[in-house]
Structure 1
Amino acid sequence: MEGAKSMETVSQWEEEVKESKYFKDLVQLPATKKISPSPKAGRVSHRCEKSGDTQNLWLNLSDGFIGGGRRFFDGSGGSNGALDHFAEEEAKGNFYPLVVKLGTITPEGADVYSYARDEDAMVKDPLLAQHLEHWGIDVMKMEKTDKTLAEMQVDLNLNYDWSRICESGDKPLERLRAPGLVGLKNLGQSCYMNSSLQLLLALPEVKNHYMDADFQMRRSAPAEVQNDLVSQVAKLVNGLNGPRYAPPLREGADEEDPKLVMAPQMFRTLIGRGHVEFATSRQQDAAEFVQYFLEQLARAERGAGSRVSGPTTAMFDFAVEERLQESSGSKRVKYMKVRQNMLGIPVKLEDAENLEEVLAYRAAKEKDGQDAKKLKTEGAEEPKAVIQLASCLSRLGAVEEVQFRGGGACKTTRLATMPRYLIVQLQRYYVDEKWCPAKLDCKARWEMIVLRERTHGA
């Protein structure tokens, strides 16, 4: 029963896996070596050919290379040997995209991953048995000896020690201070500004443009430094990513040293000057601030000449193409392109994966009678709508019926170009049945995407 329950849990987490487009014409080099089907009892025969690791190993189906799985952002995971090998071979002009996880091979299949840039995901290889036979592995004789990625994902979500990132109980977090880990002081309702700056000013290109260790950028300001946006951005970039606000922690220090807190007061005064909203101490919209900041920075960089090594804001620019086709008559088509630096993604309640549960609760709450009393007695909380990112993106690209030149038309939207960094805005505001502005309280299913990437050991 326990095993059946475990398999049921895994199946709930498994994503739809598609066939790789590369399995039919997969290149397989001459088998100058044979891969041992599985490690013998008590001995380890499989090792990463780069690091020597013996865990989380992947066999490249094209050239027989055995490498470790991905290394994650926090240093955990594998040695990254398999992915590094693929990149090295690709640089030489060799395309060896498919790898299989050793230890998951059975007569029923195995974990297969594609490193191809247009796939980069778990895939199916209908010719897997044939591809493995090339390297001396008979799938009919194989037994599972390692966890699949789906099982690893379940373990991570069920057993992850969240106290490592959340301070609770008697387990205080370890205090860290280092360049790149510096925060900004809240100046009173300035979280919208601080969070935006922390994101933008940590980008490698921004640091490359504005790191000013010798103060030359600030000393060369054409006016007073406090009135020069380029100088103020350089000050923030150096403070967040340099050593000034990140010296070693004092032994025995219990409180944060106020002298080591970076307060962006001068920047806030300058960026808000002349703006009816950002000049105040009220809470503002982060998306509006980002767009206003990028607009002001682009203008300041144009006047800075050689002081800045490149146009920073161009990294976020992209083109959105709208296609309109008349629904009747001549069915003429019109294309329009608009330059943007932020992609607005519609978030709708009807896209919730638990829509029936949410609507049932709301209906019971509004209904006079036993259902509403039962909810109140049980203290049941309203379930929060859970909306997948994929649903939001599908809505963005879906065909929309609109009015055009006095008649109906079909409108489709797509990205004509892609920026280096795509800034996404969740559009959760809508007009309710009383024609009043409201905000959809929902939970975006994006943290699950992060966890899936983390457990993709390939």
Structure 2
Amino acid sequence: MDLLRANLHKVRIPEPTNRIHKDECCVSFDTPRSEGGLYVDMNSFLGFGREHVAWNFEKSENPVYLHIVQRRKPEPDETDRPLKKPTLLAIGVEGGFGEQEPEYDVTYEIVILPEFVSLPFPSVDLPEKVRLAVDKVILAESADRKQQLASWVADKKIISAHAMDLQQLDNGVIVPPTGWKCSKCDKTENLWLNLTDGMILCGRWVWDGTGGNNHAVEHYQQTKYPLAVKLGTISADLEGADVYSYPEDDSVEDPILAQHLSHFGIDFSSLQKTEMTTAERELDHNTNFDWNRIQESGKDAEPLYGPGYTGLVNLGNSCYMASVMQVMFSTHPFISRYFEKQSLKAAFAISQADPTLDLNMQMTKLAHGMLSGKYSAPSQEGQEGIRPRMFKSVIAASHPEFSSMRQQDALEFYHHLIDKVEQANPGNHELNPCTGFKFIIEERVQCPSGKVSYNQHCDNFLTLSIPLHEATNKGGFEKLLFFCFLYRI
């Protein structure tokens, strides 16, 4: 305790604006769940794994740390489906997709370097300043949590431009409350009522055998009648009814749906919901879909472990980033620059005061995380991969698109990455790994007179067109394309 009191001036009480890195090490992918836990510097609030915390002490001379250890609780009997079924197309909000992570027991202690003297927490014997500082750290939102969007929610339905002035035919059609069937086939599910003429038709065919026979969309193509409502979704809660606009190619809101239904004799208040809406089907499919079905057909994928076989966890529509970084760190220039010729300790030593904001440090961290094999070992739970949140935060800083959680183009991200890496290594060809990606393209133009001109320019990418019939897994690829349109009627 005397040692702690002697270093009390090194302890800071965090302010609301401070970034507290208590989820992951700044120079590795160690977390409180790793062996050895995580050490949070009680002055800078940077987090470090057991192997790396001494480096921070040498550099900053901050001796007081909060040691956080999380140990997994025994799980109840596993089921194939989540215990709590999502009801909202969202991540991280009530009713949406949760992380579905197991529960952990968390322990805390105060550790003083360099001897790693430990003091229990909570304890009334600790100085009040330390107790207050630790409480603030524990209760505060982590830097990672602040950095990422708290949730991803499907766009709010727009009011259809065709709803308010929809022309309904006076053709005498009265729709019964039950017993519906497609007017052109025997389908009795996934039926859509066209709000112009009252035709009941089945929805789109889906590659997995579900859906309908495309009769509803074919009817629109022939008549151009714009709006349809899914019959099984109509109930007293009319806001939950699934209305689709063919011209707008989306689920929409019809403010006067009750009036449109009444035209065909439908009393919505007496109906019960019997089918899922388009959004609910998407939720259900995402919850239960066997993703192996859109991979190589008939092949069992065997997980690979070890150096170079570390996966990147999806941070939320971050597949574009993961695919580019897996490619980049399979090339010699990037492997040499950030893995073979630069250690984590060397990168940390030359990094700025906050290594989470240093591109060179985060590139090196990502390289060692992906290539060392430390985070790619068989376990009972399987290979989880690593979460490149700090890297994304740095590489996407001030970029309005890449800093979001929206889908992006991989080639655009590749160009952005090249620009950022070159800016971080100005005028130094030996340290700049991007020089290995540059080449000269020569273009030959011949005019009708027979004269020829040649033009050359430097570039770092080349587009190649690959016809679909050349694909070795054509069937699986076609299924993937169908999956992209799975929820359109």
Name the TM-score, length of structure 1 as normaliser: 0.35
- Structure whose CA Rg is larger: 2
Name the TM-score, length of structure 2 as normaliser: 0.33
